[in-house]
């Protein structure tokens, strides 16, 4: 269950492994493994012994709700694994912070990451127009062309228009994230990290885009740029299923969660279904299982935007939940929905239909525009 997730790359996906995972539909196998664990052991967390550590895999949706509601105490977000991976490019990020500095950094993020703090729609429309023209001339939308437009959008929203063309900045971040995939195993490249941070700080000094918001943002923005990658992946997958609006973006993230493993580490002993688990236990929430479980969810494998209009199962958490919920959620939904709207204005694409695949390799998406449906402005 966990090995294919690690192999795909935790902080940046590896295209070759993603293609193989799609061929094997590895998420389907992992979901089936989780179903058989639950059937065999019941609703209690399943305990694994990995190198002498206490690891508990949750199988009960109510337990997921409890874990996330209880963060950061007694269930810390800053786990050993996250600290090891994220030190490569965001050693001061809120996700790996604790205590008072966590509180302060969380507040800075919440205040800065509001969609109304940047002209999101105007920026998206601008870049989507260029992309639409490109797609009309080539006859198809590919991940590469989408991704290029997406990063221009992201740099303009986060750092302002002057950063639009700074591919070097996001390429350096990608290299650092590739190291982060190896977490403990990769030496920290301090030279590259320093170069990236210097370049970023020069942009931040201009205080444009979200970077105009108050607070010391220098340690937080690397996470924003990193996390906007997932937002692009979610948006192109939404396009591939004909999704629209913020519920469409949420559905794409439910069907193919970009944070497939949510981790917490307990700071004290905690009791689960009558069993005590020691302090320092790592709790694993494997979200593809909870989001696509055919035993519980009649809509598991179809596009079901209506589920976001009513209270849901507590384990459907593409943006996490509780006090550690993704503070960028509304910004992602606004940016993704604006992109879907702008691209659907002049282009139509064939849609993937139910049952939707359990693994969808976004790198391999090639979406021909439907000549009959393509309207030229
Ligand atoms: C599809 C896009 C995204 C998804 C699915 C997503 C999902 C998540 C999830 C699941 C977490 C919790 C991680 C954990 O508990 O270990 C998280 C945390 C976070 N996200 Fe996002 N995220 C997305 C995009 C963004 C963007 C674009 C930003 C900023 C611009 C952002 C900022 C953050 C921050 C700062 C945290 C740490 C929160 C904390 O430690 O309290 N995210 N996100």
Q: List the domains of the chain with CATH numbers.
A: 2-259+287-367 (1.10.630.10)
The per-residue pLDDT for 276 is: 96
- For residues 34 and 1, the answer to whether their CB atoms sit within 8 Å is yes
Cα 312 to Cα 308: distance, rounded to the nearest angstrom: 7
Sign of CA pseudo-dihedral 356, 358, 321, 210: negative
Residue 324 Cα, ligand 1 centroid: separation in angstroms?
Answer: 9
Which residues lie across from 276 on neighbouring strands? 271
| CA 242 to centroid of chain Cα atoms | 20
Which amino acid residue places its CA nearest to atom 1 of ligand 1?
A: 231
The DSSP H or E segment spanning 75 is strand 75-76
pLDDT at res. 375: 42
Q: How many C-beta atoms lie closer than 10 Å to residue 16's C-beta?
A: 11
CB 1 within 8 A of CB 341: no
CA atoms of 213 and 108, how far apart (whole Å): 9
Residue in 64, 76, 94, 227 to alter for ligand 1 test, most ligand atoms within 8 A of Cβ: 227
| Ligand 1 pocket check for 332: Cβ under 6 Å | yes
Assess whether the C-beta atom of 326 lies below 6 angstroms from ligand 1. Answer: yes
**DSSP strand pairing (282-286 vs 53-57):** parallel
Per-residue model confidence (pLDDT) at position 186? 59
* Alpha carbon of residue 260 to chain centroid: 8
Q: How far apart are CA 176 and CA 197, in angstroms?
A: 11
| Residue 176 CA to ligand 1 centre (angstroms) | 18
| Ligand 1 neighbourhood includes 77 CB (under 6 angstroms) | yes
Q: Residue count of the chain, please give it.
A: 377
Q: From first to last of its 377 residues, what are the pLDDT tens digits of the chain?
A: 777 777 777 677 888 889 989 998 999 999 999 999 999 999 999 998 777 789 999 999 999 999 999 999 999 998 988 888 777 777 888 988 899 999 999 999 999 999 999 999 999 999 999 999 999 999 999 999 999 999 999 999 999 999 999 999 999 998 888 876 665 555 667 788 899 999 999 999 999 999 999 999 999 999 999 999 999 999 999 999 999 999 999 999 999 999 999 999 999 999 999 999 999 999 999 999 999 999 999 999 999 999 999 999 999 999 999 999 999 999 999 999 999 999 999 899 999 999 999 999 999 999 998 765 444 43
Testing ligand 1's pocket by substitution, the residue of 12, 328, 330 carrying the most ligand atoms inside 8 A of its CB is 328
79 Cβ below 6 A of ligand 1: no
CA 97/CA 76 separation, integer angstroms: 10
Q: Give yes or no for residue 75 CB within 6 A of ligand 1.
A: no
Cβ(105) to ligand 1 under 6 A? no
């Amino acid at each position: 269950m966990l090995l294919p997730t690690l192999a795909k790359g935790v902080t940046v996906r590896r295209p070759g492994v993603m293609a193989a995972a799609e061929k094997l539909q590895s998420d389907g196998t992992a979901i089936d493994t989780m179903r058989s664990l639950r059937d065999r052991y019941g609703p209690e967390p399943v305990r694994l012994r990995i190198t002498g550590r206490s690891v508990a895999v949750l199988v009960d949706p109510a337990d997921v709700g409890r874990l996330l509601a209880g963060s950061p105490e007694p269930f810390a977000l800053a786990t050993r694994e996250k600290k090891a991976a994220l030190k490569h490019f965001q050693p001061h990020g809120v996700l790996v912070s604790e205590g008072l500095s966590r509180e302060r950094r969380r507040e800075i993020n919440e205040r800065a990451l509001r969609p109304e703090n940047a002209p999101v729609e105007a920026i998206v429309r601008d870049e989507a127009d260029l992309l639409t023209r490109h797609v009309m001339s080539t006859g198809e939308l590919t991940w590469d062309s989408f991704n290029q437009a997406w990063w221009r959008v992201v740099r303009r929203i986060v750092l302002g228009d002057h950063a639009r063309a700074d591919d070097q900045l996001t390429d350096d971040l990608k290299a650092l994230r590739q190291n982060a995939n190896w977490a403990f195993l990769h030496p920290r490249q301090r030279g590259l990290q320093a170069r990236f941070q210097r370049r970023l700080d020069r942009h931040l000094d201009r205080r444009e885009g979200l970077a105009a918001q108050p607070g010391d943002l220098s340690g937080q923005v690397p996470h924003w740029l990193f996390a906007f990658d997932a937002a692009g992946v979610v948006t192109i997958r939404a396009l591939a299923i004909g999704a629209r609006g913020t519920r469409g973006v949420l559905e794409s993230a439910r069907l193919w969660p970009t944070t497939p493993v949510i981790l917490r580490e307990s700071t004290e002993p905690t009791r689960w279904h009558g069993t005590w688990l020691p302090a320092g236990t790592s709790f694993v929430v494997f979200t593809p299982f909870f989001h696509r479980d055919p035993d519980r969810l009649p809509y598991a494998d179809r596009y079901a935007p209506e589920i976001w209009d009513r209270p849901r199962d507590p384990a459907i958490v593409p943006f996490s939940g509780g006090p550690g919920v993704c503070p960028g959620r509304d910004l992602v939904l606004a940016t993704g929905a604006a992109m879907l709207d702008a691209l659907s204005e002049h282009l139509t694409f064939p849609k993937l239909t139910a049952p939707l695949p359990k693994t969808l390799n976004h790198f391999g998406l090639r979406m021909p525009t439907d000549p009959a449906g393509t309207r030229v402005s």
